[in-house]
Structure 1
Amino acid sequence: MYKTYTKSFVFVVLLCFTALGNVFGQVSINRVEPAFWWAGMKNKQLQLMVNGPGVAKAKPVITYPGVKITEVAKTDNPNYLFIYLDIAASAKPGLMRIKFTGANGEAKSINYELKARTDRSGAQGFNSADVLYLLTPDRFANGSTENDALEAVGIDRKNPDARHGGDLKGVADHLNYIKDLGFTTVWFNPVQENRMPNGSYHGYAITDFYKIDPRFGSNAEFKQLTADMHSKGMKVVMDMIFNHCGLAHPWMKDKPAADWINNQKKYVQTNHAKLTAMDPHAAKTEKDILLDGWFVPDMPDLNQRNRHLATYLIQNSIWWIEYARIDGIRQDTYPYPDYAFMARWCKEVIAEYPNFNIVGESWYGKPGEIAWWQRNSAINPNNTYLKTVMDFPLTFTADWGFNEDANKNGGEQSGIYQVFEVIAQDFLYPDPNNILTFLDNHDLGRFTRKDDKSLDRFKQAFAFLLTTRGIPQIYYGTEILMEGAKSEGDGQIRKDFPGGWPGDKTDAFSAEGRSDKQNEAFNYLRKLLNWRKTNKPVTVGKLIHYAPYDNVYVYARIYGDKTVLVMLNASGKDQTLDMARFTDVAGKHASGTDVITGKVISISKNFTVPARGQYILELN
């Protein structure tokens, strides 16, 4: 009893001294974000978010040539302090001392580094000359088993929703595979830390915006990976999320401000009514639920109307561009964060890196809804400054439109005609070339289906994807006919790539490990992708198309005196075309070279396209 009383008494005394220490101004600093910055940035403003017990009671002072404090901002949380700096063009790289003085005169100093901007690689952006290879890092390849476990959370490949161990080294080990296929760019699903209790293999519940998830590797490894990709002539697109963070983020235990999170006192589920973002008749309450509601209970909704958080997020993306020299960003759930903030973000990123590109996930079903989000849209009075949008309407239409049963009957109700109609509505877009086109991705059922007996649907759809307007994206494993239905769960559309793990029974990274059908699909895509790289009519040329007759869609890509003619027969029977109809694109050309076979084919007078077949012809 005596011992217990003594221990309790000592504990109370220690608590009192701790409290008095905070009252009298002792300074303790746990973290400063960003951890470092660069001299010579175009935007001379820098926000430092300082965290530590009672740090808001301290007064920061900086004495460094070319750097001055413009504002010291406090919130209702005494453990956070926001320091706004002006870094003049004359400021030199070096260690900048920041002195924090408490109320009792006690001082604590830290060194903050301004780095030199020595790396000028990357930040190239991506455009219609590129093709993106989208991969989920946890499911692509496990290059190092040493990082498989984090604390008590290991890997379980039998569980489709658990961590499987894929990592950055796994990607690095297979860069030549990706390049040889013909891809110019890799888009990574999120690689930032997701230190969630359930593992969060997909990456969309971030718990540290400035750190690569240790189960994928380190910041240094990611930076080296981008450098290696640039040395191979490839680009890197990084997935980012501004709408929410993970529930296990340290902010949730000690929020930097009371309004850092939306609906923090009572859980409100977003209504996903994305049209309310643009609907002139939308009720305010509906719009508030869309913007401020949470995606799921594990993903708190961030309030970008808080100016400190807004600046934090913008600086974070600029930090990753400058640090790792990434070439583009794909922004998740684009309509859900604050509209004005997102426009500001786009403007500030492009102001710093004029060639950079950002694509926003704009998940809508109609072209007009997508076009509203592209910068300089005539149908949106408030500029988004978003360069590239995602063509979900084309994805949904193509998924059905290339099916044989969708083209049993002709006319405007046929599948291929519906595909044509989506493209025909490009008048809605300010810039039809800067639209991301895709047949599937990590959120959709895979385009390849178990009941596809032949490769007719596959070949026709990818012939279209790689020759129509826009920036094509192909999901990892498509080249080996990976399957997975959305109804089976997200884990089934994000399966492990065979051969990416030690001990895998098959290795689909090699021709020997693929079936004959897989190799046929692989070689078809490889041929098209590598041909596309050097074909300007397809990458930057003008698109002229014809309304489908008898379920045959014909269009041309033209650049200068070069023409590529594409013919897609979606019907179940051979179709003979009267080539006189296409003279305004074919001109006097009597033949063309088949891109796939290399054969020279006559296109004079009548021309027959086989059932469910396609031709991609370079006109001679």
Structure 2
Amino acid sequence: MAERRKKQHIRNRWKTKSSEGSEYFYRESNMKKRTTHYQSNAARILPEPVFGFLITVVLVLASVSVCFSQSPPEILKIDPPSWWVRSTMNPVRLLIRGRNLSEARVQPVGPGLRLVGPPKINAAGTYIFADVAISPNARAGKKQLKITTSGGSTLANFEILPALNPAGRFQGFSPDDVMYLAMIDRFSDGDRANNDPQQSRGIYDRKNKFYYHGGDLQGVIDRLPYLKELGITALWLTPWYDNYDHPNQIELKDDKPSSGFHGYNPQDFYGVEEHFGTLEKLQELVAAAHRLNIKIVQDQVVNHTGPYHPWVDDSPTPTWFNGTRQKHLKNVFQTWVLHDPRPVEELKRETLEGWFLDFLPDLNQHDREVSRYLVQNTLWWIGTTGLDGIRMDTWQYVPNDFWRDWNKALKREFPRFTVVGEVKDGDVVHTSYFQGGRARAGVDSGLDSLLDFPLFYSIRHAFAEGQALDEVPKTLSKDFLYSRSDILVTLLGGHDDGRFMSETGATLDGLKLANAFLLTTRGVPQLYYGDEIAMTGPDEPSTRQDFPGGFPGDKRNAFTVQGRTREENEIFNYIRRLNQVRASLEPLRRGELINLYASGQQYAYARKTKNQIAVVVINNDKKSQTIEFDVSKLGLINGMELDDRLIGIRPIKVHDGKLRVELPQRSAAILVRQ
């Protein structure tokens, strides 16, 4: 028994469990005993000269190992770098990255912090997981952790933040909002000093459509009054994570290196991209937006990292990723298997665990350390900036049981917060599967909202391509599949699709009608930057053009009336008017949606609350039309007169329980009782 204990002591191990089994990390110890053990076994089977040579090699290697282990510890990074008092996530788990961390001990310096349990260290001695509890009465301020090994000690910085003040922050978004999506790098350049930062020289070039163009957080701050004038109440910004600091030689565009200007390939989940600004500038942006009653929605990524993330070649746990750079599944995007009750398991694995485009490392959310890291990262961004909502990238490619736990942690800390998930698919059956509010395969993800791509495609078909308008109510007829259709984020365009005005058959009148529908139907309407001035762009690079006037040297400034063309002012003013009408009429935001007429290129519907009714009539035909439909079920009695709040057609009276509306070609009206 004593000998067994002696052998067991040679390997000191710690374990972390995951749903796919237990993974072990070893810390080597007692080199002298290990050498003796090897010696006794080798002597039985090897000739003496060979045995002697091997002993020499082993002793040399052991000496090198001991010298290496005695090198002083070095700390490169701590995630998260700060946390707040009285959080629902306490203790907070720190991921400490560095060198020479084998056998490390972690000790908080001074009051306010307390280590909970022994730290866990990976086999390479490059990562420590340490749970640190923050006293509820701890003083906010900079603190230190002492990291000690046999080679010495060093200090690592950590900050305790004050308890969070929710007033005017963490608000969530709702159908009362109009959301605007802006790609930070392509919207407005407010600080030329960060265009080509010292640490990432050579990936700024406005002539290169795949490099940084100079848009930044200061530029967004500068354009907040413009958004306020347009009627925007929520601003969704593409990811501001720190991306790689050099040309991307893995993802080639037009056979040339690209950059991470779009933000979706994180290099540091806790860093702000230096081309955009700093954490302090981001906090300034959120505060400035809130003063104008504009909410901020962060675009987050938890499915994958960028190809150059330090984890890829030195992961904190053996199962941090699904596979390795050398050996992994490739995502085949067969997303239908995710809602299939009889899925082909191989396809399901490839869809959930495969690497996007074969080079974006797929995070393994079934590894508990990965899961904890991602949950804390989400909470940290909300808590430190005060933002109000999240648009989650690639929602469907992440396991639902992770989303369940992630959402529970999120709502415990920020109960009013709202999340919209990206599930890019035109099928309502598939899309609705991912909304929370009901269990799917035994799991309720808790997801509030989804980007309404099924309706997006119907809108494009009808208002751009000129297909029958009744495709729109046909799509809406499947709303029963959602747990809540009123909170879905409806859209005409986005950064992954060609712009509306580049669709075959698209016209300015069609764009106006599409917005008239978008801003009066159910859901949370989302506009894409530049669509309010009818920008064009048929594919991914051109749909991400610079906003005219947002950059030094631009020939005109479309952020101003004087800098816009006649057509640009026409569509801008039309959308602004729609937003004004929407804001003034509760039914357009909160009312029940009631279909009244749908035939060919005409569509009429009502939005009804307890105290008010708005009737929307759309003529998508290229010639004027008279539309007559029954309104008796709305409680509108004969003789009642309704005024148009949009284009000013003459008042219309209810006659024989019906409304008879004459509309010019490709126009819409919003009728409200006087």
| TM exceeding 0.5 | yes
Which 10-residue stretch deviates more, 148-157 or 122-131? 148-157
Within 1, Cα distance between the matches of 2:111 and 2:345? 48
Displacement of 1:94: 4.5
Q: Deviations over 1:326-366 (max 9, x none)?
A: 11111100011232212211111111100001111011221
Alignment of 1:456 with 2:509, yes or no, is yes
Q: Deviations over 1:552-592 (max 9, x none)?
A: 2111111222111001122333332334x122226126322
Displacement of 1:609: 2.5
Alignment of 1:515 with 2:561, yes or no, is no
Would the alpha carbon gap of residues 378 and 269 (structure 1) be closer, same or farther in structure 2, given more than 3 Å must change? closer
Question: Which position in structure 2 is the counterpart of 1:286?
Answer: 347
Which 10-residue stretch deviates more, 490-499 or 505-514? 505-514
Q: Deviations over 1:118-168 (max 9, x none)?
A: 543421111111111101111111112111114332422222222211111
Q: Which runs of 5+ in 1 are unaligned?
A: 1-14, 407-414
Question: Which position in structure 2 is the counterpart of 1:176?
Answer: 225
Question: Which position in structure 2 is the counterpart of 1:193?
Answer: 242
Alignment of 1:313 with 2:374, yes or no, is yes
The residue matched to 1:60 in structure 2 has which SS? strand
Alignment of 1:534 with 2:584, yes or no, is yes
For residues 366-445 of structure 1, the aligned pairs below 5 Å read 366-377=427-438, 381-403=442-464, 405-406=466-467, 415-445=468-498
The residue matched to 2:277 in structure 1 has which SS? coil
Which 10-residue stretch deviates more, 491-500 or 77-86? 77-86
Within 1, Cα distance between the matches of 2:266 and 2:653? 55
Which 10-residue stretch deviates more, 128-137 or 254-263? 254-263
Alignment of 1:207 with 2:267, yes or no, is yes
Seq. identity, %: 33
Aligned residue identity for 2:239: P
Alignment of 1:131 with 2:191, yes or no, is no
Question: Which position in structure 2 is the counterpart of 1:558?
Answer: 608
Question: Over aligned residues, Cα RMSD in angstroms?
Answer: 2.2
Q: Deviations over 1:71-99 (max 9, x none)?
A: 52233332101012344545443454433
Q: Is the CA contact (8 Å cut-off) linking 1:70 and 1:86 kept in structure 2? A: no
Q: 1:295 aligns with which of 356, 381, 385?
A: 356
Q: Is the CA contact (8 Å cut-off) linking 1:64 and 1:97 kept in structure 2? A: no
Within 2, Cα distance between the matches of 1:37 and 1:21? 36
Q: Deviations over 1:353-388 (max 9, x none)?
A: 000011110112211212111111366531011111
Alignment of 1:272 with 2:337, yes or no, is no
Q: Is the CA contact (8 Å cut-off) linking 2:500 and 2:506 kept in structure 1? A: no
Q: 1:80 aligns with which of 95, 111, 127?
A: 127
Displacement of 1:421: 1.0
Displacement of 1:33: 1.1
Would the alpha carbon gap of residues 21 and 119 (structure 1) be closer, same or farther in structure 2, given more than 3 Å must change? farther
Aligned residue identity for 1:573: K
Q: Give aligned pairs, total.
A: 593
Q: Is the CA contact (8 Å cut-off) linking 1:148 and 1:154 kept in structure 2? A: no
Alignment of 1:235 with 2:289, yes or no, is no
Q: Is the CA contact (8 Å cut-off) linking 2:164 and 2:383 kept in structure 1? A: no
Question: Which position in structure 1 is the counterpart of 2:3?
Answer: none
Which 10-residue stretch deviates more, 519-528 or 250-259? 250-259
Alignment of 1:614 with 2:614, yes or no, is no
Larger Rg computed on CA atoms? 2
Within 2, Cα distance between the matches of 1:154 and 1:66? 41
Would the alpha carbon gap of residues 207 and 453 (structure 1) be closer, same or farther in structure 2, given more than 3 Å must change? closer
Which 10-residue stretch deviates more, 463-472 or 361-370? 361-370
Q: Which runs of 5+ in 2 are unaligned?
A: 1-60, 248-257
The residue matched to 1:70 in structure 2 has which SS? coil
Which 10-residue stretch deviates more, 264-273 or 586-595? 586-595
Q: Is the CA contact (8 Å cut-off) linking 1:436 and 1:473 kept in structure 2? A: yes
Alignment of 1:568 with 2:618, yes or no, is yes
Alignment of 1:543 with 2:593, yes or no, is yes
For residues 329-348 of structure 1, the aligned pairs below 5 Å read 329-348=390-409
Displacement of 1:505: 0.9
Q: Is the CA contact (8 Å cut-off) linking 1:181 and 1:526 kept in structure 2? A: yes
Displacement of 1:30: 1.9
Which 10-residue stretch deviates more, 281-290 or 108-117? 108-117
Which 10-residue stretch deviates more, 600-609 or 295-304? 600-609
Q: 1:70 aligns with which of 94, 106, 117?
A: 117
The residue matched to 2:478 in structure 1 has which SS? helix
Q: Deviations over 1:255-289 (max 9, x none)?
A: 22222222213253201111222211112111111
Q: Deviations over 1:448-503 (max 9, x none)?
A: 237657532112111110010011100000011001112xxx11001110111111
Q: 2:652 aligns with which of 599, 602, 605?
A: 602
Aligned residue identity for 2:106: P
Alignment of 1:591 with 2:645, yes or no, is no
Q: Is the CA contact (8 Å cut-off) linking 1:66 and 1:89 kept in structure 2? A: no
Q: 2:311 aligns with which of 229, 244, 251?
A: 251
Would the alpha carbon gap of residues 152 and 107 (structure 1) be closer, same or farther in structure 2, given more than 3 Å must change? closer
Question: Which position in structure 2 is the counterpart of 1:9?
Answer: none
Q: Is the CA contact (8 Å cut-off) linking 1:67 and 1:91 kept in structure 2? A: no
